[in-house]
Amino acid sequence: MRSTTVATAATLLLIAACDTSVTNPGLIGDDALDKPESWSAVALGARRALADAIGSSGTTGGQLLYWGAAVSFEINPAGSTGSFGIPTDVQTGLPTDATMNADWTSSNIARYAPEAAVHRFRRVMPDTLFAKSLFVGQAYLYAGFANRLLGENFCQSVIPVETPDPTQYRLSPGSLGPQTLYFQRADTAFTNAIAVFIASGLTDTGTTSLLRAAYAGRASVRADLATYGLAQWADVLTDAALVPNTAVFQAPYAATSPDQYNYLYWARANQSFRAHTQWGTFYEGYYRTTRDPRVRWDTTGLQGDAAVAKFGGRVPFWPEAKYATTSAPVRLSSGWEMRLLEAEAALVAGDTATARAKMNLRRTALTLPGVTFTNLTEAWTALKTERAIELWLEARRLGDLRRWIDNNVPGGYIDGTYRGSVADTLHAAPLETMTAPAARALCFPVGRNERETNPNVP
């Protein structure tokens, strides 16, 4: 009897040993995203990925806004170099490819997520729905902004090659190319987004906002391309004209979870980091003089959380106040940027009067004195300064600097350190410029992780 019991137990055990299948909760299988009830989340994943790439505290979040601001003197370092601080190589203006690993990864997720979403929607949606679905339109829209983010911030492009396969989105490793490929890819994505939003036939506020964002996005990348001679300024003007002054489209952040916090704000939120300051930047003096709300910063009476090698000690902690909460959104496009593109197009055509008028629209709305210049070169300087102010801390500055400097666009630059040391006083002219030989980077290197994994990228 006992032998039978033991033998039975042993047999049951051996049988049980054959079934080891388990489905664990947490991650979601790829097939589940094909279902219509998942489509909204698929499209919004693209938005989240873009916000992460610009700068969130998420697991795969990047700091493109933050690093770009530090390299281009939009902010100055005030302390920590790790965690929420500014690494020493970024402080010196020459980020290494290793420093850029996380940013390169997050930016590529931001590009991949919407592009994979488009491919998925094309596979699982009826053709008639695909052509007008707002999910598809949003995926295209965020693909456009992600490609623009990459093109305006990274020195080169690496775009994987799609392998034709109707059943899944298969990619082969890409090769190094010019960053303008991202602009062209963004142009196509914005164009597709516009087509879908129009095909939707919807004219509600939300859809209109999305449509204007697509026009504004396309105008901005066409301006990038036009500076390189790869697009027409006339096309920029066509799109810009469709975007009213007050139109704004933003990447959202949220206070409900620290991984959705606006990273730039959080890095200076005094918990415990006080990693950057407006002390010693152009914006310190400009805001003191004008009180232009676009570049507002606060005094705190505190110092940064660590000594800054560049200044030889601790510096005052005067944090930017554009982003005053963890949930502060970052602008992706706006009507006011369109007015400056119209001003820039006018300057390209040598029309300083129109440029002045376009630039002063915003200043007038803010009850600020208008820009002044006496010649075309000064006009360009004014235009560059206005864009620096208008697009301050929006991950756009490096892209502007690079396209202008690469193409020898006339005019000067405001960028530079206006204080040389802790004890120094505010100078009237920059001590450093972006254009000095072997000065600061105008773009970020492709992440070292790409070189170390992609056989096509030496």
Partner 1 sequence: MMRVISVPLTVAVSVLCLPAASRLAAQTGTIEGKVTSVTTGEPIIGAEVSLVGITIGTRTGPGGTFTLLNVPVGPREVRVLAIGYKVASAHLVVLPDLSTTTTVQLAPSVLQLDAIIVTGTPGQARVREVGNSIAQVNLSQVKDPPANMDQLLQARAPGLSVMQTSGMAGEGAQIRLRGAVSVSQSNQPIIYVDGVRVRSEGYRRNRPPFNDSNGFRGGNYQASPLNDINPADVDRVEIIKGAAASTLYGTEAAAGVIQIFTKHGLAGTPRWTFQVGQGFSQLRPFGTDSVPYLNLRPAGQVHGQCHEAPVTGCSWIRNAYRQHYGGSVAGGSAGPNGLQYFLSATSEDNDGVLPLDNEKKLSTRGNIGITLSDNLRVEWNTAYSNTNLSNTPAGNNAHGLVLNVYRAERNYRSSSDPAVIDSLLNQSLTTGIQRLITGATVTYTPFAGFSNRFTLGYDLAQQQNHNLRPFGFVAAPQGILVEEQLRYSLLTADYVGSLDVRLAPQLTSTLSVGGQAVTSEEGRATAYGEGFPGPGIPVVSAARVQLAGDTSLRVINAGFFVQDVFKFRDRYFLTGGARFDGNSAFGRSLGLQVYPKISGSYVISDEPFWPASWGEVKLRGALGWSGRAPGAFDAVRSWRPCVSAAQSCFLPGQVGDTLVGPERTREAELGFDAALVNNRVTVEATWYHRLTTDALFAIRQIPSDGWPFQQRSNVGNMSNTGFEISLDAIVVNKPDWGIDIGGTVYTNHGIVRDLGGAVPFAAGGGWVQVGFAPMAARGIIINNPNEIAAPDTVCRSSCTADGFHIFGPQQPTLVLGQVLTVRLPKGVTLSARGEYQGGGWIQDGASFNALSRSVRWPTCAHAYPILYPGGPTDSLHFGNIPQLTARERKECVPSNTNADTFWFPQDFWKLRDVTLTIPVGWAIRRATSATLIITAQNYLKWVNDQLRLFDPEMVGRDALDSQNRDISEHIPPPAVITVNLRVTF
Give min distance, CB of 277 to partner 1, in A. 14
Nearer to partner 1, 21 or 367 (CB): 21
Nearer to partner 1, 253 or 282 (CB): 253
Give min distance, CB of 127 to partner 1, in A. 23
Give min distance, CB of 124 to partner 1, in A. 14
Nearer to partner 1, 277 or 385 (CB): 277
Question: What is the rounded CA–CA span in Å between residue 401 and residue 71?
Answer: 11
Q: Which helix (H) or strand (E) holds 136?
A: helix 134-153
Give min distance, CB of 186 to partner 1, in A. 16
Nearer to partner 1, 329 or 411 (CB): 329
Nearer to partner 1, 69 or 315 (CB): 315
One-letter amino acid identity for 328?
A: A
Give min distance, CB of 270 to partner 1, in A. 8
Give min distance, CB of 306 to partner 1, in A. 4
The vertex-68 CA angle with 427 and 442, nearest 5°, equals: 85
Question: What is the rounded CA–CA span in Å between residue 232 and residue 134?
Answer: 29
Distance of CA 37 to the CA centre of its chain: 29
Q: Which has the closest alpha carbon to 246: 353, 393, 149, 365?
A: 365
CA distances from 50 to 3, 54, 435 (A): 66, 6, 30
Cβ atoms of residues 328 and 253 within 8 Å: yes
Nearer to partner 1, 307 or 368 (CB): 307
Nearer to partner 1, 13 or 353 (CB): 13
- Which residues neighbour 55 within 8 Å (Cβ) at sequence distance 6 or greater? 61, 62, 63, 64, 65, 66, 262, 263, 264, 330, 395
Tokens coding 209: 């906002």
Give min distance, CB of 288 to partner 1, in A. 24
Distance of CA 233 to the CA centre of its chain: 23
